[in-house]
Amino acid sequence: MKLFVLKEKDINEKVANEIVSLVNEKPSCVLGLATGSTPLGVYKALIQKYANNEVSFKNVHTYNLDEYVGLSLNDKQSYHYYMKKVLFDHIDIDLNNTHVPNGVDVDKSLKGYDEEIKNAGGIDLQILGIGSNGHIAFNEPGTSFSSLTHIVNLNKSTIEDNSRFFTSIDEVPKQAITMGISSIMNAKKIILIALGEHKAEAIKRLFQDSIREDFPASILKTHPNVEIYCDALAAKYLKQEVK
Ligand code: PGA
């Protein structure tokens, strides 16, 4: 894993530039996309670069990591809605080429999502956040490293972390459909971004813990092409030699 400790705005710019370079090199590339607060700055930077005519997403294919179970595609809390609002509505991507697991017709995604990704040529670049408990996508501690797309019961800490997007904690869905750990590890390259002090403990564990299923992100150490981007707060417990 290659670590970069940078200011948030430089992380957004650098990651957006990596995506733009990839798309310009391979216009029909496959991007793995994430939701939550972490990638918002990268998506804003991509929209800006598209507006400046630096890139076209016309032939790009995207696969999102996860979706809440039970929320309709138009629900304002759904990740379908989030992706349209924060990225897809502002660039020239063909919506038919965008994919988010289906939280209503879950059987469809459970059966076909990994197969579809494989048939599209596999994910060239996967963007990832990290949960305070070390989850990647919605793969909570204890998830098998060999998992593919599956349904999960969300942990209390994840429900609490995500309740800030809902009017009350009771509205946070208790289940999600998520790409599995193996689905994520199949990506050719992975970029994980961690911003803020609330991610510091997870980032410390990512570098210090052994590889074990009760800390899902630890598997990333076995992937040949991973970049970790942290701001100074998220990197605050890392020893100088790691930085
Ligand atoms: P966040 O979530 O980007 O909203 O912090 C990241 C995650 O839980 O994977």
Across the beta sheet with 30-33, the strand order is 2-5, 226-230, 189-194, 125-128, 30-33, 61-64, 98-99
Across the beta sheet with 66-68, the strand order is 66-68, 175-178, 150-153
Give domain status of residue 116, yes or no.
yes
Q: Which residues of 139-157 are buried (b: 16+ CB within 10 A; e: fewer)?
A: bbbebebebbbbebebbee
Give domain status of residue 239, yes or no.
no
102 DSSP assignment: -
The Cα–Cα gap between 215 and 204 comes to: 12
The Cα–Cα gap between 26 and 136 comes to: 26
Helix (H) or strand (E) holding 3: strand 2-5
Give domain status of residue 238, yes or no.
no
- Ligand 1 neighbour 21 (Cβ under 6 A): no
Structural domains in the chain (count) = 1
- Ligand 1 neighbour 129 (Cβ under 6 A): yes
Residues, the chain: 243
Helix (H) or strand (E) holding 40: helix 40-51
Give domain status of residue 61, yes or no.
yes
User: Average of pLDDT values for 188-217?
Assistant: 97
Given pLDDT bands bounded at 50, 70 and 90, which one contains residue 243?
Answer: low
Give domain status of residue 150, yes or no.
yes
Catalytic residue among 67, 140, 161, 231: 140
Which of 8, 38, 79 gets mutated to test ligand 1 (max ligand atoms within 8 A of its CB)?
38
pTM comes to 0.96
Given pLDDT bands bounded at 50, 70 and 90, which one contains residue 140?
Answer: very high
- Ligand 1 neighbour 42 (Cβ under 6 A): no
Give domain status of residue 97, yes or no.
yes
- Ligand 1 neighbour 160 (Cβ under 6 A): no
3-state secondary structure of 87: coil
Give domain status of residue 241, yes or no.
no
User: Average of pLDDT values for 161-189?
Assistant: 95
Contacts of 76 (CB under 8 A, 6+ apart): none
Let me know if 133 is a catalytic residue: yes
β partners of residue 190 = 126, 226
**For 17-72, what is each residue's pLDDT tens digit?**
999 999 999 999 999 999 999 999 999 999 999 999 999 999 999 999 999 999 99
Catalytic residue among 133, 139, 162, 186: 133
Q: Which residues constitute the domain of residue 37?
A: 2-230
Give domain status of residue 94, yes or no.
yes
The Cα–Cα gap between 202 and 222 comes to: 17
| CATH number of the domain enclosing 218 | 3.40.50.1360
